[in-house]
Amino acid sequence: MPEKNRLSRRSSLKGFGLLGATALLGCPAETVASAASLAPEPPTDARKQIFSRVRETTFIDTHEHLCEERDRLGGDGPDDWSLVLAGYLGSDLVAAGMPRDSFGKFYSKGPSPSEKWKLLEPYWPAVKNTGYGQAARISIRELYGVDDLSAATVEQVQAGYEGLRRPGFYRHVLCEIGKIESCQVNSSNPPFIESAQPTLLMQDISIVGMFAGPNLKAFGDPTGRNVSSLADWHGVIDWWFAKYGQYAVAAKSQDAYRRNIDYEPTPAETAEPVFKKKLEQQSVSADEQKALEDHLFWYAVSKATENRLPVKLHTGYYAGDNRMPLARLLHNAGSACDLCRAAPETPFLFMHICYPYYEELISVAKQYTNACVDMCWAWIINPLAAKDFLKKYLVTAPANKIVTFGGDYRNVEQVVGHALIARQGIALALSELVEEGWLSIDDALALVDPIMHGNARRIFRLKEKEKAIEGAPWA
């Protein structure tokens, strides 16, 4: 192969996932010839244009749990290559049968890279091809130049990990390698982080503890307010929005891990006696607890809406293992309709495509003006379902209400693999829509900017937020 072609071939492969090579290089000649006679655009040509556009386009990353860079540099927790495999992939390992004590050791501080590999090795073949496994492998390849994990490569992966994790690596990994403009970080405790990199790590206000429980300590204590009535607790919620509302990009709740999102508008008079009982540490019934939470949910949502903050809600699949009640998740999309109807002025972002009930979520976005969808996390839960979701969404619901990427990770290295899987899925979805004759190549290309960053910039008013954040006391 001539050097020029080899280079362009290599650089076109770079930037896409493990499967990207086949997709991008197109089909064998005979397939192209027959497909070209059926489709308005030759597949390889459409793919080339779309993949190239998607590769060059920046993401707004609408959902992460990234800790501050200083915490990665100076923390006393585990600090080795296993962090690149931490979180979601650990759940796949347990589901594959890894014993809890091996799991604990693998993610602990202490064991050498080869000792850790021995713990991982029996389960690695079972998980290396899941979305979680592929994301980890792509990160390792892109960041450390190692194609796959093995006894022979773990030391090299560890050396790569240490070489990269230096002051300034957040910006390098996210912006230069991941082509990400900014992230939206969700921290539950504290509910808002005064970041040292505030325009790169933009923040949601976590509202979950304002109503679930509520969490008197984590949300009440920092305000320094005395809480002896429901009105006092409203004052606590007001305090958070007054302090951080102008700097936050959204309000966020992952309460769907605990109950359905069927929050019914409930008056203060119904919630007040229950709140009193809670303050006096008396027991309350399940119905009373629901009434209190429902009331406080809507109070927090009304504050978010006053502050022009969209409300992000977890829907669908659960992180972790051996605990997800699928029967409850089944009701998330139906309840999402009720929320949209109850608060037409509040933009809701339903996260994670409500996996596995994603058809239902498309119908919610098609019907309700204030229903938006956030594909965060979806690309690694099930890459093919996410691609399928995006294809169907784009020919069903308005294209201005979808945001397509959030890594949903704690460690910045992990975002790289997820972002490349998302780019591959977006490029494939658009290419297939063109090849199947649903979209013209021009229509497909025109969707790239809005779904990768334009919609997010508008929905979260990022220009305005950036200005406000630059003037924040901690900026």
Query: Considering beta carbons, is residue 47 or 352 the nearer one to Zn ion?
Result: 352
Query: Considering beta carbons, is residue 44 or 254 the nearer one to Zn ion?
Result: 254
Give dist(CA 306, CA 264) in Å, integer: 19
Query: Considering beta carbons, is residue 329 or 445 the nearer one to Zn ion?
Result: 329
Binding mask 86-125 for Zn ion (x = CB under 5 A): ----------------------------------------
Query: Considering beta carbons, is residue 188 or 215 the nearer one to Zn ion?
Result: 188
Query: Considering beta carbons, is residue 239 or 318 the nearer one to Zn ion?
Result: 318
User: 3-class SS at 434?
Assistant: helix
Show the tokens assigned to 406: 């959030």
Residues paired with 351 in a beta bridge = 314, 374
Q: Give the residue among 206, 212, 218, 208 at the shortest CA–CA distance from 293.
A: 212
Q: Give the residue among 39, 49, 87 at the shortest CA–CA distance from 66.
A: 87
Minimal distance in Å, beta carbon 380 to Zn ion?
12
Minimal distance in Å, beta carbon 189 to Zn ion?
14
Query: Considering beta carbons, is residue 319 or 337 the nearer one to Zn ion?
Result: 319
Give dist(CA 232, CA 182) in Å, integer: 36
Show the tokens assigned to 182: 């900014």
Minimal distance in Å, beta carbon 289 to Zn ion?
24
Minimal distance in Å, beta carbon 408 to Zn ion?
4
Minimal distance in Å, beta carbon 220 to Zn ion?
24
Minimal distance in Å, beta carbon 261 to Zn ion?
15
- The 10 Å Cβ neighbour count of residue 8 is 11
Minimal distance in Å, beta carbon 254 to Zn ion?
6
Minimal distance in Å, beta carbon 87 to Zn ion?
10
Sequence letter at residue 407:
G
- What secondary structure letter does DSSP report for 240? H
Query: Considering beta carbons, is residue 57 or 215 the nearer one to Zn ion?
Result: 215
Minimal distance in Å, beta carbon 89 to Zn ion?
15
Minimal distance in Å, beta carbon 208 to Zn ion?
11
- The 10 Å Cβ neighbour count of residue 58 is 14
Residues paired with 176 in a beta bridge = none
Distance between first and last Cα of the chain = 52
Minimal CB distance to Zn ion: which residue? 408
Instruction: Give, as ranges, the residues between 353 and 412 that touch Zn ion (CB under 5 A).
Output: 408
Query: Considering beta carbons, is residue 374 or 408 the nearer one to Zn ion?
Result: 408
Binding mask 251-290 for Zn ion (x = CB under 5 A): ----------------------------------------
The site that binds Zn ion (CB under 5 A) totals a number of residues, namely 1
Show the tokens assigned to 440: 């013209």
User: 3-class SS at 332?
Assistant: helix
Cα dihedral 346→350→351→357 (10° resolution): 170
Is the Cα torsion angle 44, 359, 380, 261 positive or negative in sign? positive
DSSP assignments along 197-219, one per residue: STTTEEEEEE-HHHHSS--IIII
Give dist(CA 423, CA 179) in Å, integer: 11
Minimal distance in Å, beta carbon 186 to Zn ion?
6
DSSP assignments along 448-470, one per residue: HHIIIIIHHHHHTTHHHHHHHHH
Query: Considering beta carbons, is residue 80 or 408 the nearer one to Zn ion?
Result: 408
Give dist(CA 408, CA 62) in Å, integer: 9
Minimal distance in Å, beta carbon 412 to Zn ion?
15
Query: Considering beta carbons, is residue 249 or 428 the nearer one to Zn ion?
Result: 249
Q: Give the residue among 49, 57, 52 at the shortest CA–CA distance from 441.
A: 49
| 61 lines the binding site for Zn ion (CB under 5 A) | no
Give dist(CA 457, CA 461) in Å, integer: 6
Query: Considering beta carbons, is residue 88 or 117 the nearer one to Zn ion?
Result: 88
Give dist(CA 346, CA 210) in Å, integer: 18
Query: Considering beta carbons, is residue 61 or 408 the nearer one to Zn ion?
Result: 408
Binding site for Zn ion (CB under 5 A): 408
